[in-house]
Amino acid sequence: MQIVITGAAGFLGSKLARQLLQNGKLVGRSGKPEAISRITLTDVSVPVGFSDPRIQVMAGDISDPQTIAAIITPDTNSIFHLAAIVSGQAETDFDLGMAINFDATRAILDRARALGTRPRMVFTSSVAVFGGNLPTRVPDAMATFPQSSYGAQKAMCELLVSDYSRRGFVDGRTLRLPTISVRPGTPNKAASSFASGIIREPLNGQAATCPVQSGTRMWLMSPQQAVRNLIHGHELDANKLSATRTISLPGLSITVRDMVAALERVAGADVTRRIEWSEDEAIKRIVNSWPGDFEAQKAKELGFNSDADYDSIIRAYLHDQQTP
C-alpha cells in the first residue's frame, strides 16, 4: 500500500501521516487491511520531523502537472489531498486560490485518469461551500451557494471528484470537514483561524483576539477526530456511496461563548481573560456565511463520528501538546 499525502507540512497532514505510520495498515481496494509500505509527503516546503523509513518527502508546487506526475506514480494506491490555500488568503489572492484549490485538484484527478490505476482519493472540502439563506440545521441535500472564493473552489472540486469517480477515473471521497479546533501551531490566514487561536494562545499565556460576536455558532471537529474520519473515509466501501461522493461530516455545534466557557472550566478564568473581543468585518462576513449546524445524516449512517463535547476537545489538545 503506497500512499500520497498533499499539504503534508500542515498540521492535519502530518498528524494523519503519524497516525497511518502507527496503524501500519490501511483498508484499500481489496477491502482488507494492507501493510503500508510507503507514505509520500508533499507540500510547498519540505515536511519535517519524520524519521520512519516508510516516509518519502517531496517538496513541490502541485499546481504544476509535472510535479503531480512525479508524486503520483503507477504504484500509488491512495491519495489524501489536503493541500489548500485557506479561505482568507484565497479571498485576497484569487489567482493563487484558483491555482491550488481548483487547478491542482483537477491536475491530480487528471493524473489518476492518465495512469488508469483508479487510486482511492480522499479530498477535504469545507462548510464554506454553503452560504446564503440557510436553515438552522443544514441537510445533506442543501444547495451550495458559497460566499467566498475558497468555498466556490471547494464546491467545484466536489463536483469534479464525483464526476471523475462516476466515470471510474478515480475512487474519490470528498469529506466536508467542520472547522478544525483546536489546531496547534500559529495563527494562519483562514477566516476561522480564531476558532483555534482563542483557545491555544490563552493556554500558552498569550493574548488572542476574537473577531466575531460571542453568539456566533461554529461547527467544529478536533484534529484527532478529523484524522480518524479521514482514515474512515478512505476505508469505506464506495458501493455505500450513491449519487455523490461528497459527505458532510458530523461535528460539534457550539457558540463562541460556550467555547470560551469550556476553556474557563478546563483552564480557569485567568486564561479566558487573555481573550480580547474586537470585531473584524471581513472575517465576520465570511464566518457568518457558514452554517453552524448540520444534519450529516449520510455521514452518521456511514460510520463517521463527531466529538462528544468541547471540554474534551480542549483536554485532547492539552494532552497532544504534552506528547508530541
Q: Looking at beta carbons only, is 177 or 262 nearer to a copy of itself?
A: 177
Minimum distance between the CB of residue 2 and a copy of itself, rounded to whole angstroms?
Answer: 27
Strand partners, 220: 179, 252
Q: CB of 92: closest distance to a copy of itself in angstroms? A: 11
Least CB distance from residue 76 to a copy of itself, whole Å?
22
Considering the complex, state which of residue 130 and residue 304 has its C-beta at the smaller distance from a copy of itself.
130
- Nearer CB in complex with a copy of itself: 166/265: 166
**Least distance from a copy of itself to the Cβ atom of residue 7, Å:** 22
Which DSSP letter does residue 178 get? P
Dist CA 159 CA 268 (whole Å): 45
In the complex, minimum distance from the CB of residue 75 to a copy of itself, in angstroms, rounded to a whole number? 25
User: In the beta sheet, which residues pair with residue 58?
Assistant: 42
* Neighbour tally for 103: CB within 10 Å: 18
Q: Are 84 and 7 in contact (CB under 8 A)?
A: yes
Nearer to a copy of itself, 130 or 310 (CB): 130
State in Å, rounded, how far the first CA of the chain is from the last one: 26
Residue type, position 154, single letter = K
Pairwise CA distance, residues 84 & 150, whole Å: 9
Produce one character per residue of 135-165: b if its CB has 16 or more CB atoms within 10 Å, e if not.
Answer: eeebebebebebbbbbbbbbbbbbebbbebb
Choice between 32 and 167, CB closer to a copy of itself: 167
Catalytic member of 150, 164, 310, 317:
150
The residues binding a copy of itself (CB under 8 A) are 94, 131-133, 140-147, 149, 152, 155-156, 159-160, 162-163, 166-167, 242-244
Beta bridge partners of residue 27, listed in sequence order:
33
Active site residue 150: yes
Q: Give how far Cα 231 sits from Cα of 62, 102, 112, 226, Å.
A: 22, 23, 20, 9
Rounded to whole angstroms, the Cα distance separating 85 from 292 reads 22
Q: At its nearest, how many Å lie between a copy of itself and the CB of residue 8?
A: 27
Of 157 and 266, CB closest to a copy of itself:
157
Whose cell is 520531523? That residue is 49
Give catalytic residue positions: 150
